[in-house]
Structure 1
Amino acid sequence: MIEIDNIHKSFGQNHVLKGISATFQPGKISLIIGGSGSGKSTLLKCMVGLHQPEQGHVRYDSAEFTSMNFEQRVPIRKEIGMLFQNSALFDSMTVEQNIMFPLDMFSDLSKAEKVDRANYCLERVNLAGRNKLLPAELSGGMKKRVGIARAISMNPKYLFCDEPNSGLDPETSILIDELIQDITAEFNCTTIVVTHDMNSVMGIGEYILYLHKGEKFWEGSNKDMLRAEVPELNNFVFASPLMKAAKESL
């Protein structure tokens, strides 16, 4: 479980996050949604320690993360898997080397054990046998799947995904959503996804946190969202023809 309590973050005079609180449960997929500039990615970065909030707390299973120094955070960081928006693969490394990178950093496994783990992760994302390819030889969807394979290489307890479907076609986006869903169930992860993809919202949104201008405006499930009476949320969600049709079918 991850808890955030009264998170504030500013950059100069720009107050990006204004007292955000929420609880993210294990074994569930939680989505953070909102318009551009609403604070979604900044909140995610505060939660994983890439940004330090000026006020508030982030707790991992009751462990106070925000007050820890770098060394104290290492055990928690070993339990975090992260899928970045652009996959963030190392261009000069093979697929296998990219997946093994966290293992090289944080584990005491032998080389053979690391290769075995990389092979398992590749099988898990349906890319078995692609070990020696370079990122330049992969499609966008394949890069996302390699990114997921790297994110699960350490058997994560917490999984963070920043815009996992960005730049992907609808069919590949559905495959990525299904993969995130399967991995969350398999590892019982506390999974948090930042997205603007309404297909993902309706497909895997067990818990949704809606941010508007740096504030928490609404939270609930995707089914609750269709009946919400929050003008800002409705304006954001029902700009999509898909979501208009879903609401009209109620």
Structure 2
Amino acid sequence: MIEIKNIYKTFGENEVLKDISAQFKPGKNNLIIGGSGSGKTTLLKCIVGLHQPTKGQVLFNNEDFTAMNFTERVPIRKEIGMLFQNSALFDSMTVEENIMFPLNLFTDQSHAEKQERANFCLERVNLKDTNKLYPAELSGGMKKRVGIARAISMQPKYLFVDEPNSGLDPKTSILIDELIAELTEEYEITTVIVTHDMNSVMGIGDHIIFLHDGRKWWEGSNKEIAHTDNKELNEFVFASKFMRAAKNKL
């Protein structure tokens, strides 16, 4: 389990995060949503250690990650998988080499063992026999799946995903959502997803945190979100419908 306690983050005079506390549980799709500038990506970076919170704690299974130095954080970092918004694949590496990259960094496995793990991960994301392709030869959806394969190569306890559906068509977005949800449940991963995609929210949102103006404004499940009377959340959730309705009146 991941727990964040009273997280603040300030850049100069700009207070981006303000007293945010929450728990993210294993086997659940934990979504962080909010409008542009609400602080959701900054919060994700604080949790994984890319930003140091100005105040507050990030706990991984009750271990205070924020209080650790670089060396002390290594065991937890080895348990973290990360899928970046643009997949962040190395263009000069093949699909197989991209997936084996964290294994080369953090394990002493033999080449054969790493290759076997890469093959397993590719099969799990339905990309069997793509080992020798380069990122330039892949579609956007395939790149995301390779990114997921790399993220799970170390058998992580924690999976962090930043805007997984960015740049994808609706059909591919649903497939990516379903794949993340399957892996989360199958391996009891604590998954934290930053997204603005309401299809993802309604489809896989087991636990949702809505940020507004740097604060936790609402918390609940996708079953509860449709019945909330939270004004700012409703405006965010139904924004596209409001825009279509306004357009139809013109």
Structure 1 length-normalised TM:
0.96
Aligned to 1:178: 178
Give the deviation of 1:238 after TM superposition. Answer: 1.1
Distance across 2 between alignment mates of 1:38 and 1:134: 36
Q: Which amino acid aligns with 1:131?
A: N
Give the deviation of 1:241 after TM superposition. Answer: 3.0
Give the deviation of 1:64 after TM superposition. Answer: 0.5
Aligned to 2:247: none
Q: What do residues 38-82 of structure 1 show as CA deviations (whole Å, max 9, x unaligned)?
A: 001000000000000010000001010000000000000000000
1:98 aligns with 2:98: yes
Q: How does 1:1-250 map to 2 (within 5 A)?
A: 1-241=1-241
Gapped regions of structure 1 (runs ≥ 5): 245-250
Distance across 2 between alignment mates of 1:166 and 1:39: 18
Q: What do residues 185-240 of structure 1 show as CA deviations (whole Å, max 9, x unaligned)?
A: 11100001000000000000000000001011000001111111111111111113
Contact 1:198 1:240 in 2 (8 A): no
Identity of aligned residues (%): 72
Q: What do residues 141-175 of structure 1 show as CA deviations (whole Å, max 9, x unaligned)?
A: 00000000000000010000000000000000000
Give the deviation of 1:10 after TM superposition. Answer: 1.1
Aligned length: 244
Contact 1:6 1:19 in 2 (8 A): yes
User: Is the deviation greater in 168-177 or in 233-242?
Assistant: 233-242
Distance across 2 between alignment mates of 1:25 and 1:185: 11
Gapped regions of structure 2 (runs ≥ 5): 245-250
Distance across 1 between alignment mates of 2:16 and 2:238: 24
Contact 1:32 1:211 in 2 (8 A): yes
Distance across 2 between alignment mates of 1:4 and 1:220: 16
Q: Which amino acid aligns with 2:172?
A: T
Q: What do residues 94-150 of structure 1 show as CA deviations (whole Å, max 9, x unaligned)?
A: 100000000001011100000000000000000000001111111100000000000
**Any runs of at least 4 consecutive aligned residues in structure 1 with deviations exceeding 6 A, and if so which?**
none
Tell me the C-alpha RMSD between the 2 structures.
1.3
Distance across 1 between alignment mates of 2:21 and 2:173: 29
Distance across 2 between alignment mates of 1:139 and 1:70: 36
Contact 1:34 1:211 in 2 (8 A): yes
Q: Which amino acid aligns with 2:125?
A: V
Distance across 2 between alignment mates of 1:118 and 1:165: 23
Contact 1:208 1:222 in 2 (8 A): yes
